[in-house]
Structure 1
């Protein structure tokens, strides 16, 4: 099978003609396996420790506003590293970046696993995030190079299995590990998979990109770090600090101003760090917006549903994780299917139907109560994931297909960066809306400390917060009508 792929990929592999390996050495399927295993572990790590936050607060003697940095620090680091990946992909070989990303992930997992204090644990998480931040855009870029355009929908569907099923499976798997062993074992279980991916990648991964060695513009890196990092940081702490607090306002304002300066500088440079000319391609720009909207829906739902299941319905963390697992499993099974549909029919049977499914499910989720049954909760989440599967990866594939080959690194870096930024924004807005609605509910009742009232108030907050998802789904549906149906440039 791989030899056939190589013959079909001669045009797609043209950027690799000056690499150290000939085209006949490149075996697309084994290369993809190495990336997919590593990517799954990296994105699993993004949410896996969320179920252990209570344990970490007790064992490491930290408060909730501090322990949230286990997740916030991970997202913030990825938001800083991913924009620089376009420059790195053109400066270092595929094998060098792949090995570096795996080494960062392995070292980070070890440091986190043996952490005697919160500061050491946070350091380990940041090191892990550097590895994931390097790997994800490299995985997208490599897949675009080694597979022809008529197969990219299927391949991106397989990558979608990683992007969405890993964070969905993380909470349930982590809950089980915590019940049987301790939170450290979440990290130890990652090491065999990371080691396998590293060894397997050393055997099969080849250099597929022509290195242009662009000049490093330090000011662009600084502005990118302040811009994307500032926005992710500001929105991440907004729910805890309050939207009117000085740290939140300062971070967001600095982030926005830095991004404006960063964008202006990229258009002036002959060889920009992140080539924003990708935004001149309308199909890519609309796909970028739609994918970001979908990711906001995903991450806002992933923060609201566990809270609703544990506090609103009074379920354990492990049970809540199990309820959310079918959605992740369905997503994993259907991602390759949606990719094949895209390859065969294009986007017309995917984008609008996907947003319609999301809209209907989010409407139903905005009407959940403390009496909603577990089967209904499973059905709503699983069906929501079906809608997500029809949109997210095919949409990214459609947008990237519209770009010329030389803009692939910039296109993949920008789309993955905005997914992280939009995810943090969606999470912060959902928590803010939920908290405001919950507080309004509690003000209207006398016995606010009653557990029944607490469950009802949080459920009311979740109902209101899901309206954000409804608005986002409507926006995505409108955008989908303007996206060109052609899947080839």
Structure 2
């Protein structure tokens, strides 16, 4: 690769890996519109059914915590082909499952594959794309990944209306096949730097237990009781993980960067944005189907226009950050998001299909404007040595926040017999979280990093 040119092989590698990341995220949300149907098929509650999404996101989050080590330990080809094999097996297991537990196993395998592919895509871009084209290709990657969450429900709705829920899995395999054909022609390995430290498996296991215990404990609140054993496990393993990370000489995640207030005050809003994004994607199709009798296909389509516009405007939003800095897009985006949530909250009993579609467009545009800027500005204020860890933490936090968002919103929806009441309570929570984000920004912009 010349200084100012990107090779065709690199372009092929990025496209092939982006397709795998796209497939993984689309598979995550494609099942949301099937919940009313699958609750009948498998005889489970909406609280149990949300695990179809939550366990997928949990698997992605756990694998992503290892992404920095995996990419230094294994070649790009090994990581990519492994993700394709695991995703294919998981998709077949899910699509052919006759039991709910087997369905969840398929989702775990799919999530594992996505957790390998998505960090690999960004790693290829950072390693192989010249600086003068970095923004373009990062924008391409972000656009692909931002389209997938809301294309999923549209795809899932069309599949279940025309062919049945199993075909949501089976037809998905077309994209990995295309991705594989591109990879065979273009994929090549980069030179690897020898690892200077061993991987800290103990820290990894402690963090995996921490995330899993919290998610299960939150899910079990559906029963009306607190599982003190699980919450205790979460607190203990979190404490042990922090202790291990601060004392171990082995390699995992450098949590010391949380000492930087500018980073911490950015990653928390980032988590809350993703919590609302995936939680909203979960409840909106169910709200329309159960509350207004909208078909699965139409309910899934509700999310599509907002997502497409969000993807189209992403490069423009990036230019706003480049020319105006972080403050303007963060505040404007968050205030637009807050306005959309307040309108939804007021109209929740009568909103129906069209108002939901229009207000979701506002919701998405506001979130996309602030969400991407939050990530960019936080990592930009880290040193070169800290950025790989900061990026890994953002990616892990993004997936786990989605899993937690699905779990909590399902808990709220499941605790109310009327889905409109559940939607009302969900929107109230989202309004409160958005106000918290604005407070976080106020604190962030008072830190030394932003005042120098």
Which residue number in structure 1 is paired with residue 308 of structure 2? 329
Which residue number in structure 2 is paired with residue 382 of structure 1? 361
Deviation of residue 36 (structure 1)?
1.7
1:216 aligns with 2:199: yes
Q: 2:340 aligns with which of 357, 361, 365?
A: 361
Q: 2:395 aligns with which of 394, 416, 436?
A: 416
Q: 2:51 aligns with which of 69, 76, 99?
A: 69
Indicate conservation of the 8 Å contact 2:329/2:369, yes or no.
yes
Indicate conservation of the 8 Å contact 2:161/2:296, yes or no.
no
Q: 2:321 aligns with which of 325, 336, 342?
A: 342
Partner Cα separation in structure 2 for residue 305 and residue 70 of structure 1: 16
Instruction: Decide whether aligned partners of structure 1 residues 174 and 433 sit closer, same or farther in structure 2, where only a CA change above 3 A counts.
Output: closer
Instruction: Decide whether aligned partners of structure 1 residues 271 and 149 sit closer, same or farther in structure 2, where only a CA change above 3 A counts.
Output: farther
1:87 aligns with 2:69: yes
1:256 aligns with 2:240: no
Give ranges in structure 1 of 5+ residues lacking alignment: 10-23, 439-453
SS at match of 2:250: coil
Q: 1:245 aligns with which of 203, 220, 226?
A: 226
Q: 2:420 aligns with which of 454, 459, 462?
A: 459
Q: 1:479 aligns with which of 437, 440, 446?
A: 440
Indicate conservation of the 8 Å contact 1:151/1:343, yes or no.
no
| 1:52-451 equivalence runs, <5 A | 52-60=34-42, 64=46, 66-147=48-129, 152-208=134-190, 210-213=192-195, 214-235=197-218, 237-238=219-220, 240-242=222-224, 244-246=225-227, 249-434=228-413, 438=416
Give the TM-score of the pair, scaled to structure 2: 0.89
Which residue number in structure 1 is paired with residue 431 of structure 2? 470
Give ranges in structure 2 of 5+ residues lacking alignment: none
Aligned length: 448
Partner Cα separation in structure 2 for residue 485 and residue 201 of structure 1: 45
Indicate conservation of the 8 Å contact 2:34/2:156, yes or no.
yes
Partner Cα separation in structure 1 for residue 141 and residue 175 of structure 2: 17
Deviation of residue 193 (structure 1)?
0.9
Indicate conservation of the 8 Å contact 1:76/1:233, yes or no.
no
Partner Cα separation in structure 1 for residue 222 and residue 188 of structure 2: 45
Deviation of residue 8 (structure 1)?
4.3
Partner Cα separation in structure 1 for residue 40 and residue 419 of structure 2: 24
Deviation of residue 469 (structure 1)?
1.1
Partner Cα separation in structure 1 for residue 189 and residue 383 of structure 2: 20
SS at match of 2:327: coil
Partner Cα separation in structure 1 for residue 102 and residue 348 of structure 2: 41
Indicate conservation of the 8 Å contact 2:278/2:405, yes or no.
yes
Q: Residues 3-53 of structure 1, C-alpha deviation per residue, up to 9 Å, x if partnerless?
A: 6xx5149xxxxxxxxxxxxxx868543332222211110001112122223
1:32 aligns with 2:32: no
Deviation of residue 431 (structure 1)?
4.1
Deviation of residue 157 (structure 1)?
3.3
Deviation of residue 266 (structure 1)?
1.2
Deviation of residue 164 (structure 1)?
3.1
Deviation of residue 295 (structure 1)?
0.7
Indicate conservation of the 8 Å contact 2:24/2:114, yes or no.
yes
Indicate conservation of the 8 Å contact 2:54/2:406, yes or no.
no
Partner Cα separation in structure 1 for residue 435 and residue 49 of structure 2: 35
Partner Cα separation in structure 2 for residue 79 and residue 422 of structure 1: 9
SS at match of 1:125: helix
Of residues 365-374 and 294-303 in structure 1, the stretch that sits farther from structure 2 once superposed is: 365-374
Of residues 251-260 and 426-435 in structure 1, the stretch that sits farther from structure 2 once superposed is: 426-435
Of residues 84-93 and 466-475 in structure 1, the stretch that sits farther from structure 2 once superposed is: 84-93
Which residue number in structure 2 is paired with residue 7 of structure 1? 3
SS at match of 1:274: coil
Q: Residues 122-158 of structure 1, C-alpha deviation per residue, up to 9 Å, x if partnerless?
A: 2222111110111222323333333456655544433
What is the root-mean-square deviation in Å for CA atoms of aligned residues?
2.9
Give the TM-score of the pair, scaled to structure 1: 0.82
Partner Cα separation in structure 2 for residue 154 and residue 315 of structure 1: 39
SS at match of 1:189: helix
Partner Cα separation in structure 1 for residue 352 and residue 7 of structure 2: 54
Instruction: Decide whether aligned partners of structure 1 residues 463 and 52 sit closer, same or farther in structure 2, where only a CA change above 3 A counts.
Output: closer
Of residues 268-277 and 223-232 in structure 1, the stretch that sits farther from structure 2 once superposed is: 268-277
Deviation of residue 423 (structure 1)?
2.4
Which residue number in structure 2 is paired with residue 445 of structure 1? none
Of residues 155-164 and 468-477 in structure 1, the stretch that sits farther from structure 2 once superposed is: 155-164
Indicate conservation of the 8 Å contact 1:366/1:463, yes or no.
yes
